[in-house]
Structure 1
Amino acid sequence: MPPDERRLCLPSPDRLSNLAIHLIDDILNRLSLRDVVRSSTVSKDWQYTCRRIPQVKFDETVWETPEELTSPTIGFIPILDSFFFRFHIGITLKVTLDIISLKGFNKLITLKLKSVTLSSDTFEGWISNCPLLEDLVLKDIHNPYLMSISAPKLRSFVFHGDIQLIYLENVPLLSNILYEPKELVLEDEDDFADIFSSIPALECFSWDHFEVDIGSTEFIPTRLPSALDCLKRLFISWITLGELFELSFTLCLIRSSPNLEEIEIKGCILSDGDYFEPVPQDVVDEIPASFSDMTFNHLRTVKFYDVLLEEGEMQLIRVLLAKSPALVKMEIKPRQMETNKSLKVLVEITKFQRASSKAEVVYLVD
């Protein structure tokens, strides 16, 4: 065969397969999901390349009619499952779910969202249209504005994120809350009270990690307007009781919870340069009087871990020992301190009056 004729038989170069990976990714990121899947037929290599697309957008182009969203076989959950478990390979850096016809789920019981950005209006409307929702988990949620949650069947709520403030407006059955705000910003005293005003069934409350806007310090009341009569277990961690706001916050919750059975407080380790507003002496001196009308008849266990045992903390320990006739055990683990100071604190605590003859004070030192 002549040389010219032999060249005619050579396959043409596969230019699409030879594109740089970042160019292919850029092309795929501009396509709808339907076209991404279809692109697997463009060339033999693209059937694998398109399956590792780092950014995915699910929007109205995936469904031909709004009814398909709630279809048990065509709805967005089967499509997401099929895409991520059967089609997609590798790491997904970003997933966008853009569904304008989506009103809620009338049979949804558990909802977990992680690392998403939410519009307040969209989210509030969505949750209010999930009438059977019992468990709600929001982790790494981003929204700079306040958000309201109305869920009459909700029993458990876990939140971690940087939403300015969350109002729980219609949650009559909510009994378990784990709250980890990146920053708490209060505009006035009502803001703080409103966090707890509509949770009549609250039994277990955990607040982890404090970052407070300095202007919020003055907006913590002595007690909440309505007592948390059902609250049995209170857990507060990553807190500095030597700081005015955080001590005021803790005292307010304890004073507002007459039926507590268990209290656990874990301190945080301050870094050089951390700023906090120290507790004035008059505030420390008023702590015993602020509990004068209270008795914790159900309190059995108290734990203080990694605390500095400064005056405010010592006053709180004194009050709880004197006001808890059913107390069985109090554990105190101070943050590392000099031996002489640690022994001095221990001697002082052993002299505190105890309302319970069975109360055991365990002082844990390294």
Structure 2
Amino acid sequence: MIPSNGQKQGLPSPHVLSNLPESVIDEILMRLPLRDAVRTSILSKKWRYNWCRLPQLKLDQTLWKTVEDLISPTIGFTNVLCHLLTLHTGPITKFTLDIPDLKSCPNIHHLIYFLSRYDIQHFVLKPPLGDQYKLPSSFFTCLQLRHLTLHRCLIRSPPLFKGFDRLIGLELIEVRISSKLVGSLISHCPLLEHLVLENDKFSDLIEFSAPKLRSFFFIGNINFLHLKNVPLLSKVSYKPTSFFLEAERDLAEIFESIPALENLCWNQDYVEADYVGQAEVIPTRLPSSLNCLKRLCLSWVILGEFVVLSFALCLIRSSPNLEEIEIEVCVLRDEIYYEPVPRDAVDEIPASFSNMTFNHLRTVKIYNVAGTEAEMQLIKVLLAKSPALVRMLIKPRRMKDKKSLKVLAEITNFPRASSKAHVVYNVD
């Protein structure tokens, strides 16, 4: 190309890549997948071993998978791991091992020992599917860890292990660990702020103290969960696999230990339970109001089930300072319930909110609305009791056009406490 001034433009120097500052080279390599970062070693002599000092590494099957797949995945992984352990120099702050598709991988313990010598701070381990991988003793010497994610592992800590005193984030997913040990592990991470527990195999009480904890995601039997000291916990997501109440006090105990709760997501999708008789032990309101709760999300709630409707209404009534409500309704195709909502319970919904006003509620979203009486009463109450409401989004369940229009017409005529309330009836 000849510039407009008629002079030839010189080509870039062939040594331009070699002359880049090392900090710039490192930034480039950090943004590449590890396989591509290694390939940059052919660019110049200066680039040959730059990948060997990368502080963040991710090993997955893309590193050894070929079009022909001539090499066994396990052999491919072993070769990559051998080169890494031999050539890498400098600190490793973050390491991700994601190899669920391998049938077996006998060299993981060598890798963990290698990382323990490099003061690893962020470790993600997703071992092969199948038998759970038992963590070696060297894992418990990674005392600089700040973020830890484990999938499908077996944890048995040595007797002298006192916990990770610098850990900020912990995620244990399908990990085999005793209830006592998981409670002790969490309690001995004094700086822990983010916690994920996904395990429906716990069969005993899980009790822990986490004074710095701010967010908690839990899948499992909620009846076994006891939070002792979580004064800062504000964001909670529960997906209980079992939810059985024997007395009114049972429900109160779930929430009394979370005084700073601001954001609650409750998903009923995983619950397998016989609900008969449990509605009787759900109070109209919790003994202590959830005064800090601003956002409430209820997913997969079967409002045709008496206990589920009672539970949802109890949470809403117990949260006077809500700013946003999101409800995903589940309607059973056969509409056969353990204990259907009795007519008098539906009629009592407006009266149960008679002394309440949601002065801060601005947004309401309700999905899969079928136009049942319980749903319509709840929508009517929220419109009538929310003077600051700005938007209510209603997405109906697939239904015949005439019924959908009838539901829309009925909602349109509901009185509204807010002159600014805009009701959006979203039909796909």
Residue deviations 1:106-150 (CA, integer Å, cap 9, x gap): 221111111113322222222111111110011245202332232
- Compared CA separation, residues 113 and 94, structure 1 to 2 (3 A): closer
Equivalence for 1:98: 156
Query: In 2 relative to 1, CA 53–141 (structure 1 residues): closer, same or farther, beyond 3 Å?
Result: closer
* Deviation by residue 1:252-309 (Cα, 9 ceiling, x = unmatched): 0110000100001011252558633211111111111111111101101111101222
> CA 1:203–1:350 in structure 2 vs 1: closer, same or farther (change >3 Å)?
same
Cα RMSD between the aligned structures?
Answer: 3.4
Q: Aligned ranges for residues 123-272 of structure 1 at < 5 Å?
A: 123-162=182-221, 164-210=223-269, 211=271, 212-215=273-276, 216-272=278-334
Which is bigger in relative contact order (C-alpha 8 A, separation at least 6)?
Answer: 1
Shift of the alpha carbon at 1:71? Answer: 5.5
Distance across 2 between alignment mates of 1:52 and 1:331: 43
Range that drifts further, 134-143 or 199-208: 134-143
Aligned equivalents of 1:71, 1:220: Cα separation in 2: 45
1:112 corresponds to which residue?
Answer: 171
Distance of 1:262 and 1:319 partners within structure 2 = 15
Letter of the 1:69 counterpart: T
Q: How does 1:1-366 map to 2 (within 5 A)?
A: 55=131, 56-60=133-137, 69=141, 95-101=153-159, 102-162=161-221, 164-210=223-269, 211=271, 212-215=273-276, 216-272=278-334, 275-366=337-428
Q: 1 CA distance for matches of 2:155 and 2:257?
A: 31
| Number of residue-to-residue matches in the alignment | 308
Contact residue 165 and residue 185 of structure 1 kept, 8 A: no
What is the rounded CA distance, in whole Å, between the counterparts of 1:273 and 1:285 in structure 2?
A: 20
TM-score (normalised: structure 1): 0.75
Contact in 2 for aligned 1:133/1:153 (Cα 8 Å): yes
TM-score by length of 2: 0.65
Q: State the distance in 2 between where 1:266 and 1:53 align.
A: 33
How many Å apart are 1:179 and its aligned residue?
Answer: 0.9
How many Å separate the matches in 1 of 2:204 and 2:155? 21
SS at match of 1:130: coil
Which residue in the other structure is 1:6 paired with?
Answer: none
Residue 143 of structure 2 contacts residue 165 of structure 2 at CA under 8 Å; is this kept in 1? no
Shift in CA distance, 227/163, structure 1 to aligned 2, threshold 3 Å: closer
Q: 2:211 is aligned with what amino acid? A: P
**Paired residue for 1:90?**
none
1:241 & 1:172 partners in 2: Cα distance?
Answer: 32
Residue type of the alignment partner of 1:57 = K
| Cα gap change, 1:328 to 1:128, in 2 (>3 Å) | same
For the residue of structure 1 that corresponds to 2:184, the secondary structure is helix
Q: What is the letter of the counterpart of residue 234 of structure 1? A: L
Contact 1:262/1:302, CA 8 A, preserved across alignment: yes
Contact 2:274 2:338 in 1 (8 A): no
Q: Which amino acid aligns with 1:174?
A: L
Give the Cα–Cα distance (whole angstroms) in 1 for the partners of residues 129 and 310 of structure 2: 50
Task: State the identity as a percent.
Answer: 56
Give the superposition deviation at 1:162: 4.0
Q: What is the one-letter code of the residue matched to 2:246? A: E
Instruction: Give 1:339 shift.
Output: 2.0
Whole-Å separation in 2 of the counterparts to 1:352 and 1:128: 50
Report the 3-state secondary structure (helix = DSSP H, G, I; strand = E; otherwise coil) of the residue aligned with 1:182: strand
Cα distance in 1 between the residues matched to 2:331 and 2:290:
30
Maintained 8 Å contact 2:304/2:331: no
- Cα distance in 1 between the residues matched to 2:246 and 2:232: 28
Alignment gaps of 5+ in structure 2: 1-104, 114-126
Determine the C-alpha separation between the residues in 2 that align with 1:293 and 1:71: 54
**Matched residue type, 1:181:** P
Letter in 1 for 2:157: I
- The answer to whether the Cα contact below 8 Å between 2:154 and 2:177 also exists between their aligned partners in 1 is no
Secondary structure, in 3 states, of the residue corresponding to 1:217?
A: helix
